[in-house]
Amino acid sequence: MCPNAGNAEAAKVCYDHCISITFASDSPPPLYLCIECANEIHREHPNQMFFDILHPMQQVSMTCENKNCRASDKYAVSICFSTECASYNGNHPIRYCQQCHNIRHNNRRGGDHIVHTSLPQLWDMDAEVQTYMVESIVSLLKEAKHLNSDISKGSADIHSKASLLNVLTTEDPIPLEERQLLGRYGVWLLVGLCTPHEDTPAEILGRLLSMLFHWFDITSYTFDDQESTLERLKTEFVCGWLSDVCSSHFKVFVSCLLPHPPDYARVGGHWDTLISRTSHLKDGLNRLFSLVPYEIITSEIWDYVMPHWMEAMVNDVPEKEQHELKNLLSKILDPDMSPLGFDAKKLYYFVAVRFKKTSARVQEQALNWLQILTAQDIVIPLPQLFAMFNDGVRVMKGNSKDDKLTKTCKHEESGRRGSPVKDVDDTSPSPVREDSSGNTSGLSDDEAPTSRHVEFETDAELTLSCCILMLDVLLRQMELQEVEKHNGVHTSLSEDVSQLLKLMISASWVGSHSCASKNDCVFCESSVMWHQLALQLIEFLAPEHPVNPPDSHVEEQVGEEGGHGHKSPPESEKKPETKPDVVINMPIPEFHSVGVVLMHVPHVRPLCFYLAQSCPLFASQAAEYALGKKRTFVDTNFWTPH
């Protein structure tokens, strides 16, 4: 304030102590003066220098403070601290909108002004500042930490071993509650400054998306007082931003949700530690599952990413560790209580579509997925299974050998190029091949797992393998769903089984086969296995104690006319027949029943006779199979044991 004008606000300052002692003996230098006092002293002492004063900002205005502003969008974007611009605002820093900022500061004027502008969009920054901004967002999102009760076993072991080596600090100066909230600053920067456009680099956007998905996983379980803050932040800001990104950059979005994402998307969480392949997949599924309650995972995203996850489970997870994924898969794939909000048809559409107009190689891959799910006690509705298998067998039946070979080659070539969903002609799915493009590194330093896929020499062997897998999955699902046994052949389930077996019998693998070598024949072993599974399926449905049919009238006549036929005893020796109290009328099985189908279809012969003709090597063993000495899955090298 000016000492000579009462409450007048000072506008000038003089640093000469002589002037301060002369005109304001009660105030120490420097001397602050209003405009009138400064001009009066300057007339008496023209050699003295008076400097402008820049007052602090009393409040930060959200709109433009230029009194002559004519812009339609008056949202303030900059603050000018120069005296020239501050003089229009009572020597206070002034805030300008974008239009006024461009008028006041350009090549002709205002080039030397000290201006503080708001951060531009990430894509408009230069390369260096852009890198700093990306890493700042990533670092802020990484501040959120797992609660102690939610740290996985593998992560706990890593932390305990690192603490012994003094790699990690034992005490964190920031409480865990505050760390959970620090990530929101990164979310604000991400949502406010990182709205992507068409030319957005996939590497930058993918890194930010992957880190944001990790933040969703970390904050899925928070303290009670933080839950409302973080949940409101997710629903009001983040979910809308993710929906826009998914619409404009779908491929980048789903690539961050794959089990083998690109290298630039491997950030945060399990990607920052050395863990096993199974732990990588388990943490990745948790990250995917954390997005489900917010309706971020649509049916389109689900159909894209789930084939990759299922193939990763088949190839990367050892059989002894598959139980670790059971609880998580049960939560996601429950057809009745799934948080995805899909019905059973949409839930398993990514499997069903691989049985429609596809090659046997694609079907074999999908059947391996179904086996993994069945082994983890995941219930798949039987009507859906029959619909899938019927579609698949019809395709096998209709394909010729040349067509199958061509399609198989096309599918494999498309899979090598890394196409996850469509075939070369973009009409049917192709086999999923993880890490086939060569753009990603391995999950861990573990020994590469062996593939479950068996290489076959002929299409007939591959087709027969698919039929075996179908029957195996069907039998195990019926046991898992506790379907009642021996209900007879006149139920809807029996009709579905009968139709499926008839289609399999008429498929392309049924025909003449001869073994030239004395070595084990894969086709013969597979044929035995298929007949065993078909028999088990029939025994599952057929009555446990069927009624024996009466002797035919023709046999009685032949016995009487033959020389060695037994004569009927005299009437006196005949014992009176006792009539039962209850007469049981058994219906004669119709042609669509399972037992009659196998008897009337000419392609199906008794197992011994069939093997004796198709493979002489198994002629000596056919009697053993007929007497009930069945081979199990463990006895053959063709199949992986349950």
Given a cut of 70, whether residue 507 has pLDDT beyond it is yes
* pLDDT tens-digit readout, 138-148: 999 998 887 65
Domain final residue, candidates 85, 100, 118: 118
Residue in the structure block whose two tokens are 């209003």: 34
Same domain for 91 and 108, yes or no, is yes
* Residue 256, in any domain of the structure: yes
519: amino acid identity, one letter: N
Same domain for 333 and 193, yes or no, is yes
Same domain for 211 and 323, yes or no, is yes
Tally of structural domains, the chain: 3
Give dist(CA 503, CA 592) in Å, integer: 13
* Residue 146, in any domain of the structure: yes
* pLDDT tens-digit readout, 138-197: 999 998 887 654 444 445 555 444 444 455 445 667 777 778 788 889 999 999 999 898
pLDDT of residue 382: 93
Same domain for 138 and 218, yes or no, is yes
Given a cut of 80, whether residue 216 has pLDDT beyond it is yes
Residue 399's pLDDT band (cuts 50, 70, 90): low
Cross-strand pairs, 422? 429
Same domain for 189 and 204, yes or no, is yes
pLDDT of residue 276: 86
User: Is the model more confident about 571 or about 498?
Assistant: 498
Same domain for 172 and 258, yes or no, is yes
Same domain for 107 and 139, yes or no, is no
Same domain for 306 and 164, yes or no, is yes
* Residue 19, in any domain of the structure: yes
How much is the mean pLDDT over the chain? Answer: 75
pLDDT of residue 223: 56
Q: What is the mean pLDDT of residues 127-146?
A: 91
* Residue 340, in any domain of the structure: yes
pLDDT of residue 367: 94
* Residue 177, in any domain of the structure: yes
Same domain for 238 and 316, yes or no, is yes
pLDDT of residue 471: 94
77: three-class secondary structure by DSSP: strand
* Residue 197, in any domain of the structure: yes
pLDDT of residue 581: 41
Domain final residue, candidates 342, 366, 390: 366
Domain final residue, candidates 61, 85, 118: 118
Burial pattern 400-419, b for ≥16 Cβ within 10 A else e, equals: eeeebeebbebbeebbeeeb
Question: Of 367, 369, 306, 361, whose CA–CA distance to 338 is shortest?
Answer: 306
Give dist(CA 105, CA 96) in Å, integer: 10
Q: What is the mean pLDDT of residues 109-135?
A: 89
Same domain for 195 and 105, yes or no, is no
Q: Are 199 and 231 in contact (CB under 8 A)?
A: no
Q: What is the mean pLDDT of residues 577-583?
A: 42
Same domain for 223 and 269, yes or no, is yes
Q: What is the mean pLDDT of residues 485-501?
A: 88
Q: Which residues contact 307 (CB under 8 A, 6 or more apart)?
A: 350, 354, 369, 420, 421, 429, 432
Given a cut of 90, whether residue 213 has pLDDT beyond it is yes
Min mean pLDDT across 160-169, 388-397, 523-532 is at: 160-169
Q: What is the mean pLDDT of residues 290-315?
A: 92
Given a cut of 60, whether residue 344 has pLDDT beyond it is yes
Given a cut of 90, whether residue 369 has pLDDT beyond it is yes
User: Is the model more confident about 566 or about 48?
Assistant: 48
Q: Is the peptide bond before 3 cis (omega within 30 degrees of 0)?
A: no
Domain residues for the domain of 228 are 124-366
Same domain for 108 and 45, yes or no, is no
* Residue 243, in any domain of the structure: yes
* pLDDT tens-digit readout, 540-575: 888 877 666 666 555 555 555 544 444 444 444 444
* Residue 511, in any domain of the structure: no
